[in-house]
């Protein structure tokens, strides 16, 4: 078994591990202690070009690899990830800071994308039909789109990578992954695992850089690159869309969120609290699907607020690597400062702090689990992603009111609804402007379901039955006279 904690790997290009062309490195910091734990190569434009060359050299061979063989390799990736789940979870907890229990959940979720796409790889089918005129047949073939640039964030360093890599490989594409520089170690550990599973050299390439804008632009400008898949902020997504438009590159964008969590008076209180803890505190709130605005109907408001306060206040804050930690550190000091500014702004506008609400002292990027109530609509946190362990509660009276509040955002990624009345739940869900709805559930992500948003939350879908693979394919129409 490879030791994924030695951090001795470099850029992974064409099946080789190498230093950056100028020898520079990026330091990786443990957010629990602020100590430097590793250094990875800082890729240059030359390194990015080499990664595209490697992906291009491997493209035809991988494209022509039989679907069954691709499927078997993806299945082996799943098996290896499952076998080494504890090692990978410990690595994620170390570099990302998330609690081990969350890291274990991420590894299981990330591995599932390989199992799901291994099964889908052999089920890619085209279309065959008769033209309306009756004079010819219409044949539609689905083919790999080509070389893909994949850009992933720091909050789910394993899952965000496999959610893109697995369908791309199943479709027959080669890829260049650029993980976040804050959490690169997981991406490199997984690259070694892919190699062991039988992924040929050049099919998956991994580069890290402290200059992502310039390096990404250079790759997108290469005519051989035909796809960009990005997960990150809406602001960066807009920049990448503009850059991709210059070269007419297909884009999939999973961007920011501002998820409403709606609790009606008739909801099961304990179930709603259970769901709120999952939706809010998964990865300590550092998730695009995190419950960002909690709307609770007047009749159940006080009981819900008190119940959430008790649960949040009881969470143990500490390093993610400690087994009893429930809330780990944020990713950077900048992230902590942003969270605190949002909390202080809400407090200044009249919100009440039920627990937490102040930056933790000492080393590490910690912020305590925090619950606010009476959060006004003009508070900044009602319009910006908090990306931290802060639950802002607002009261509402009626259905029409909460639907209007939930939709009062440029985002539309995820939403949560709690009610015992299934008809009402479905009615409200149909009116919420969101790509994904969790009805009486605190977790919606599933490799078998299409993941993505509407409005400013993105373009395209990841996962699901065919949705994820089709993003990495082109439809080719062939007219046949019979």
Residue with tokens 């605005």: 293
**Is-catalytic flag, 251?**
no
CA distances to 103, 108, 180 from 86, rounded to whole Å, are: 9, 10, 22
* Cα(76)–Cα(64) distance, integer angstroms: 19
Cα distance between the two ends of the chain: 57
Residue 283 — left, alpha, or beta (φ > 0 → left; ψ -120 to 50 → alpha)?
Answer: left
Sequence-distant (≥ 6) Cβ neighbours of residue 276 within 8 angstroms: 261, 263, 291, 294, 304, 308, 391, 442
**What token pair was written down for 417?**
């609804």
Neighbours of 223 (CB within 10 A): 9
**Is-catalytic flag, 288?**
yes
Active-site residue among 288, 327, 355, 373?
Answer: 288
| Closest C-alpha among 391, 395, 436 to residue 417 | 436
What length does the chain have?
A: 482
Active-site residue among 112, 182, 254, 471?
Answer: 254
CA distances to 240, 292, 424, 451 from 430, rounded to whole Å, are: 31, 20, 10, 17
Residue-by-residue DSSP string for 171-223: HT--EEEE--TTS-HHHHHHHHHHHHHTPPTTTEEE---S-HHHHHHHHHTST
* Cα(302)–Cα(305) distance, integer angstroms: 5
Please give the positions annotated as active site. Answer: 254, 288
């Amino acid at each position: 078994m490879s030791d994924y904690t030695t951090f001795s790997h470099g850029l992974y290009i064409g099946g080789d591990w190498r230093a950056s062309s100028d020898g520079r490195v990026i330091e990786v910091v443990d957010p629990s202690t602020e100590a430097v734990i590793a250094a990875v190569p800082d890729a240059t434009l030359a390194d990015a070009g080499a990664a595209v060359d490697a992906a291009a050299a491997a493209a035809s061979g991988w494209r022509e690899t039989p679907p069954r063989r691709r499927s078997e390799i993806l299945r082996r990736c799943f098996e290896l990830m499952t076998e080494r789940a504890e090692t990978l979870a410990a690595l994620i907890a170390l570099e990302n800071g998330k609690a081990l229990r969350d890291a274990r959940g991420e590894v299981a979720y990330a591995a599932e994308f390989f199992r799901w796409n291994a099964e889908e790889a052999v089920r890619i089918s085209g279309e065959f039909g008769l033209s309306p005129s009756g004079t010819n047949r219409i044949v539609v073939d689905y083919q790999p789109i080509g070389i893909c640039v994949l850009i992933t964030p720091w909050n789910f360093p394993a899952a965000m990578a496999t959610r893109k890599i697995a369908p791309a490989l199943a479709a027959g594409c080669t890829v260049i992954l650029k993980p976040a520089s804050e959490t690169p170690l997981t991406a490199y550990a997984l690259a070694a695992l892919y190699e062991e599973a039988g992924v040929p050299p050049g099919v998956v390439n991994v580069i890290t850089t402290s200059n992502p804008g310039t390096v990404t632009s250079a790759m997108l400008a290469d005519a051989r690159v035909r796809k960009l898949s990005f997960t990150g902020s809406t602001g960066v997504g807009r920049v990448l869309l503009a850059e991709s438009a210059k070269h007419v590159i297909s884009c999939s964008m999973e961007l920011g969120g501002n998820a409403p969590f709606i609790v009606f008076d008739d909801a099961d209180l304990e179930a709603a609290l259970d769901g709120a803890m999952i939706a809010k505190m998964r990865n300590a709130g550092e998730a695009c699907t995190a419950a960002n605005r909690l709307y609770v109907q007047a009749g159940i408001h006080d009981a819900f607020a008190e119940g959430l306060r008790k649960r949040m206040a009881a969470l143990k804050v500490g390093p993610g690597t400690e087994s009893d930690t429930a809330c780990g550190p944020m990713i950077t000091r900048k992230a902590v400062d942003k969270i605190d500014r949002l909390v202080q702004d809400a407090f200044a506008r009249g919100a009440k702090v039920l627990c937490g609400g102040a930056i933790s002292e000492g080393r590490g990027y910690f912020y305590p689990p925090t619950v606010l109530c009476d959060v006004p609509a003009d508070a900044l946190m009602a319009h910006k992603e908090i990306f931290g362990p802060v639950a802002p509660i607002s009261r509402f009276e009626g259905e029409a009111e909460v639907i209007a509040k939930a939709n009062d955002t440029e985002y539309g990624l995820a939403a949560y609804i709690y009610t015992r009345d299934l008809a009402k739940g479905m009615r409200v869900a149909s009116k919420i402007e969101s790509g994904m709805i969790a009805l009486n559930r605190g977790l919606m992500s599933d490799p078998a379901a299409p993941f993505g948003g509407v409005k400013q939350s993105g373009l395209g879908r990841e996962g699901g039955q065919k949705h994820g693979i089709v993003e990495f394919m082109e439809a080719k129409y062939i007219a046949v006279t019979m």
